[in-house]
Structure 1
């Protein structure tokens, strides 16, 4: 792919992402990137106002900013300025510097629906994913980073409680939980932990025993092959092999951590075959971007003859995260694999950001 075509495609993608950012209406506050909740088998489709995808898009765009044409860098800065203005809407209801998937003041979980928003049972507490992405996309002071590190440790396995689900070998390890809530069970998720550890590494704070056990869990998830065989057991909120590989690969690209050496070798071995057999275009994008991060050049995925509209259509249908509603408690976790119990989230702007990221990383 010629450099001029790559620059042109990146400029088009960034412009389209900017056009998808909400300007403010009855459904979406200005600055938010709209997303959708899906359960297609049941005819379920809802507009969704989570802050997760907005912080994820800001992080993704800022990471690739240096590889963009100058005019597109200005667009990215404008997107970020508008998006950062809504971050306080998702900050902890206590005023502390943790973040929720949905606005917590007042609770606005599962908005624009008929049932789930009516019960507090589905109002999740602040979480590691939303918080780490808020910090990654909008870096904080050393004091704030130290505070969050202590907060994570206070809610970790062996401190707040003991994991009753997840791989048995790690239920007595000092692994960070996906949640900050007092009543939420300890939940270990390798993709969520990868986001958290990416933030932790970037802070420059010394790695402690909680970091080491969390890295060990991530490494085992990949090296054992469980991310392919039983993705729901090791990463319930990103329960596909391409999504787990993408998250771990982003952490691997940050630093040559010896704690993740086995994971690095395993992904380099596994990903070419996974890429060759992946049926969905966006799964291929995730896997190819991960290979690029690992220093490998995957088979080209883009056709220069595609229009932006055609490329956008191919990017649809990626459910980047899920809610396995029966997964939270040991009594019902065995039912979590029942597909009808899972709600899927899609964000069209984020899918385009993933395509732009692939191009910025050198994909063709």
Structure 2
């Protein structure tokens, strides 16, 4: 069995069979702040959706046995999506279960108050749309929903680059009370969905693409990633998301070239950052050094992929009085999902193999 096949098989074993923390079909993840000794099991839909997406993206490159494994993972995961659907039955999705709300589960404080209850969000919604079949009417409905909650329509952004606070850019949230904010990684996922569904581009999409272009070509994402992508907030994560869009969509050619140059020059601090950048460069048609020696075992990959934080919550970013402290890393909650980290490694192995 190849290392890639062993990795996919192991991913299947990580999917919950149903327990006190996770519904059957979900991939376990944790929210944590290691500096404070804080670690909680976190039954969200986000990491399951993006893990399924990553596996679907490489399915054609896998062996028949691994393809069947991916299909089984996909089917089992799909059974959990209704748990995270809008509480009123609309076709948007929440990070946490909605009926009843199970926000920030297994904690001491935040789940006890509605103050920390999250509205449905754009990232979870478009990722689930990307991995489940939708009718043209459903896609058009979501596009209208995005516009209705965008900047200049729902309200005005008070964060992000000043130049874009009067642009028609989709917000991260669908809720009534959450502030409008932009996240270039999330917006890259939105535009990936827009282009895959061949939805007509409008003024909102044009402003979003301008924001993504600015994020990279200004170099701001290298200096201040939190300002441009508050929920991912590292340069490698922004590179990964923007690169995934630009590898598939023939837009922003100057942005693409600048991103490639930056990735080739970037000094990664972790193995997982190396994996994400190498995968992105491969998507963009570049060659990369071999990162996984032939003698590495599955156990080695599991060890190397640990402690990879793919998403954050910048808690102080939501309130004007504390926004100046938002970059204080001790105020960020981090999320880790062992299965998704290994899915990222599987992406690299599949693309590097050239199959």
TM-score by length of 2: 0.98
List aligned pairs for 1:321-360, cutoff 5 A: 321-360=311-350
1:316 aligns with 2:306: yes
Are the aligned partners of 1:292 and 1:363 in contact in 2 as well (CA < 8 Å)?
no
Give the counterpart of 1:287 among 277, 289, 307. Answer: 277
**Structure 1 counterpart of 2:132:** 138
Deviation at 1:86, TM superposition (A): 0.5
Give the Cα–Cα distance (whole angstroms) in 1 for the partners of residues 338 and 5 of structure 2: 17
Are the aligned partners of 1:52 and 1:101 in contact in 2 as well (CA < 8 Å)?
yes
Are the aligned partners of 1:288 and 1:363 in contact in 2 as well (CA < 8 Å)?
no
1:262 aligns with 2:254: yes
1:303 aligns with 2:297: no
**Structure 1 counterpart of 2:210:** 216
Deviation at 1:363, TM superposition (A): 5.9
1:251 aligns with 2:245: yes
**Structure 2 counterpart of 1:127:** 121
Are the aligned partners of 1:300 and 1:363 in contact in 2 as well (CA < 8 Å)?
no
Give the Cα–Cα distance (whole angstroms) in 2 for the partners of residues 222 and 323 of structure 1: 22
**Structure 1 counterpart of 2:143:** 149
Give the Cα–Cα distance (whole angstroms) in 1 for the partners of residues 243 and 260 of structure 2: 10
* SS at 2:32 equivalent: strand
Deviation at 1:52, TM superposition (A): 0.4
**Structure 2 counterpart of 1:164:** 158
1:116 aligns with 2:113: no
Give the Cα–Cα distance (whole angstroms) in 1 for the partners of residues 352 and 35 of structure 2: 37
**Structure 2 counterpart of 1:89:** 83
Post-superposition CA distance 1:9-53 (Å, at most 9, x none): 211110000000000011111000000111000000111100001
Q: Specify every segment of 5 or more residues in structure 2 that has no aligned partner in the other structure, as ranges.
A: none
Post-superposition CA distance 1:219-277 (Å, at most 9, x none): 110111111100000000000000000000110112111xx222201111111121xx2
Give the Cα–Cα distance (whole angstroms) in 2 for the partners of residues 104 and 168 of structure 1: 34
List, as ranges, runs of 4+ consecutive aligned residues in structure 1 with deviation greater than 2 Å: none
Are the aligned partners of 1:323 and 1:344 in contact in 2 as well (CA < 8 Å)?
yes
Deviation at 1:305, TM superposition (A): 1.1
Give the Cα–Cα distance (whole angstroms) in 1 for the partners of residues 296 and 59 of structure 2: 24
* SS at 1:322 equivalent: strand
* SS at 2:309 equivalent: coil
Name whichever of 17-26 and 354-363 sits farther off.
354-363
* SS at 1:320 equivalent: strand
Are the aligned partners of 2:3 and 2:297 in contact in 1 as well (CA < 8 Å)?
no
**Structure 1 counterpart of 2:57:** 63
* SS at 2:325 equivalent: coil
Deviation at 1:329, TM superposition (A): 2.7
Give the Cα–Cα distance (whole angstroms) in 1 for the partners of residues 162 and 129 of structure 2: 31
Q: Specify every segment of 5 or more residues in structure 1 that has no aligned partner in the other structure, as ranges.
A: 1-6
TM-score by length of 1: 0.96
Post-superposition CA distance 1:143-188 (Å, at most 9, x none): 0000000000000000001111110000000000000001111110
Are the aligned partners of 1:38 and 1:45 in contact in 2 as well (CA < 8 Å)?
yes
Over the residues paired in the alignment, what is the CA RMSD in angstroms? 1.0
Give the counterpart of 2:5 among 6, 11, 14. Answer: 11
